A = this chain, B = another copy of it.
Amino acid sequence: MRPAVSIVGGSGYLGGELARLLLFHPGVDLKQVASRRLTGRPLHSAHPNLRGLTDLRFCEPDQLDPCDLLFLALPHGLAAGRIETYAALAQRLVDCSADFRLRDPESYRRWYGQAHPAPDWLPRFVYGLPERHRQELRGARFVSGVGCNATAVNLALAPLADAGWLERAVADLKAGSSQAGAVARPGSHHPERSGAVRVYSPTTHRHLAEVEAELGLLPVHMTVTAIEMVRGVHLTAHCFPSPQAAVEDLRQVWELYRQQYAREPFIRLLGGRGLYRYPEPKILAGSNYCDIAFALDAGGRRVVVMAALDNLMKGGAGSAVQAMNLMLGLEETAGLRFPGLHPL
């Protein structure tokens, strides 16, 4: 019998992507999708692309039946407060919010400005980035989803950081409007947001906490700029290599990345020529890929690492389903093979 999975917090963009992926997943059955606000309404009332594909209707969170794996796609802060309740419903949990992304309560307090409501639970969670925690994820019970900006930075910088080649980096991120969620705000009003090039986080972004947790306490300076885009994260990481790295040739960088990522199913190292020789988020919409490419300043003083991903896929629901596949012992790429569209 195929595992039964459910979603709580199913009305948001991440919940919608989870629902889409799970409805078409070859190895699991989507049983319930809970949303207090939309209880009783069909899934397509929030996710119009799902019209005609399922008879499921949103249920009350309290009406959730026990299941094999439960996805939490709630606003930040809600999962931690009710973790006992949700853990009682399912053998396995994937929490897509920021609540359980850090292992260290102190780090949580520092970045989120308050004590964690369930600190005992933090060490039970595995950070759901398969490229970094594949072994722990296999069979894991409690998994945290990833931050989209953090994932771009972590995947782009990990090889350099792991090799001790990274002295300092400036991570300049460009972000789409879906990153801010499904609720209308003055800043998301179309006449204002359309065509914007809006730095909204010039010096501090909470996703840095996840970078620190994964790559260590490196001087990574992060700036996020909202641009005209709905889906997608683009990173240009300006990396200053440590002297001992002795980077003189782009092939050294290639070799480093190839060693680490050659067998990763969802990381593509780009090269060659043509319009798409560097990563572009738009051809990744709906796909689970993270595309990465590099360039080198004359003299090797700066390695420019570029990366792109879909914030709702590799930076959210896609990584969460990839983690689920590992937790349940399924094929890691199951349900995640859509390649993206071109042109778009």
Contact = CB atoms under 8 A, between A and B. Distances in A.
A234 B202 CA distance: 14
Given A186-B275, A194-B230, A280-B197, A304 B343 contact: no
A87 interface: no
Contacts of A298: 203-204
Contact of A342 (B24, B49, B197): B49
A306 to B, nearest CB: 6
A173 to B, nearest CB: 10
Interface string A262-298: 0000001010101110101111011101010001111
Interface in A202-246: 202-204, 219, 221, 223, 225, 227-232, 234, 236, 238
Contacts of A223: 172, 236, 238, 304
Contacts of A204: 297-298
Contact of A185 (B184, B234, B238, B297): B184
Contacts of A308: 197
B238 A190 contact: no
A262 to B, nearest CB: 12
A301 B219 contact: yes
A202 B306 contact: yes
A13 B174 CA distance: 27
A134 interface: no
Interface in A15-67: 16, 20, 24, 44-45, 47-53
Nearest to A223: B236
Nearest to A281: B197
Contacts of A120: none
Contact of A282 (B20, B196, B340): B196
A20 B343 CA distance: 12
A66 to B, nearest CB: 28
A251 to B, nearest CB: 16
Given A223-B236, A238-B221, A276 B48 contact: yes
A191 B341 CA distance: 12
A195 B296 CA distance: 26
B275 A187 contact: yes
A177 interface: yes
Nearest to A197: B234
